[in-house]
Structure 1
Amino acid sequence: MPTKRSMSFLRLALLGDGVASEATGLAMIAGAGLLEGVLGLPESLLRYAGLFLVPYAIVVAFVGTRERIARGAVLAIVAVNLLWVVESLALLVGGWVAPTALGTAFVLFQAAVVGGFAAAQWLGLRRDAALSPA
């Protein structure tokens, strides 16, 4: 059975992801029009990304607050996070948008944070599996 320390690490990674995603999503929804000019990213892109993040954050927080965290759910969350990172980088190199320097920094920063959550969640799963009885 996993120790409290390993479970708390996975829970922290999930709940941190949930809180950060919810805050980012709400900010993107509420401020899409204002952020468009500052970041050079289309208002619709910001708004739709925010509309994705809000329910995503609720699901991630739900998974992280269960007594027993479902391995499959965490694997799905890690996959979505990795897809977000890839799509963020593709957005910058694909030429679909013309972000400002601040917009480029925003996309790279949030991709790095999301990638960090994916890595932490994966590590939390690995720690739990290593501690589980055979």
Structure 2
Amino acid sequence: MSIFASPQFLSRVMWLDAASCAATGALQLLPGDALARWTGLPNALLVGTGWFLLAYAAAAAWMASRASAPRRAIGLVVLGNLLWAVGCGALLLSGALNLSALGVAWVLVQAVVVVLLADLQWMGLRASSLSRGGRQLAAG
């Protein structure tokens, strides 16, 4: 059995996703306007996405805590993570904001992390399906 097909793999990846989103959301909310000044990102964008990330972290933690991985929900998480990365890339490529080096790094790190998480989640979903003879698991 591959590590990706382990029953705990998806749960652990979802806990990692929840923790990274909770940390990022808190960092976007706690320093107030300071992060906006340091990064060049609009404070409204940081606050809005900070609250979204905290709510998402709660949902990801709920998925991680299930005895059986909610496969459809995790599939939506994979899509959401990829869309987040696309949004980060679009923000950087648009040139609409005067980002500092820290701002560019803040957005790039988020894009890279969510792509890595999406990849791990996808591999876990695929491996767990294959390890069960290709049958679709019941959605959680």
Q: TM-score, normalised by structure 1?
A: 0.92
1:60-104 deviation digits (Å, cap 9, x = unpaired):
110111001111011011111111000001011112311101110
After superposition, the Cα gap between the structure-2 partners of 1:72 and 1:28, relative to the gap in structure 1 and judged at 3 Å, is: same
- Structure having the larger proportion of residues in helix: 1
| Matches for 1:15-26 after TM superposition, within 5 Å | 15-26=15-26
Confirm or deny: 8 A CA contact 1:24 1:50 kept in the other structure.
yes
> Identity of paired residues, percent?
36
Aligned position for 1:77: 77
Deviation of the 1:4 alpha carbon: 9.6
1:13 matched to 2:13? The reply is yes
Residues 32 and 44 in structure 1, CA contact (< 8 A), matched pair in contact too: no
Shift of residue 32, structure 1, vs aligned partner: 3.8
* SS of 1:7 mapped into structure 2: coil
Cα RMSD, aligned residues only: 1.8
Runs of 4+ displaced beyond 4 Å: 2-5
Count of aligned pairs between the two proteins: 133
Unaligned runs of 5+ in 1: none
Stretch deviating more after TM superposition (45-54 or 27-36): 27-36
So what's the TM-score if we normalise by structure 2? Answer: 0.89
2:110 is matched with which residue? 110
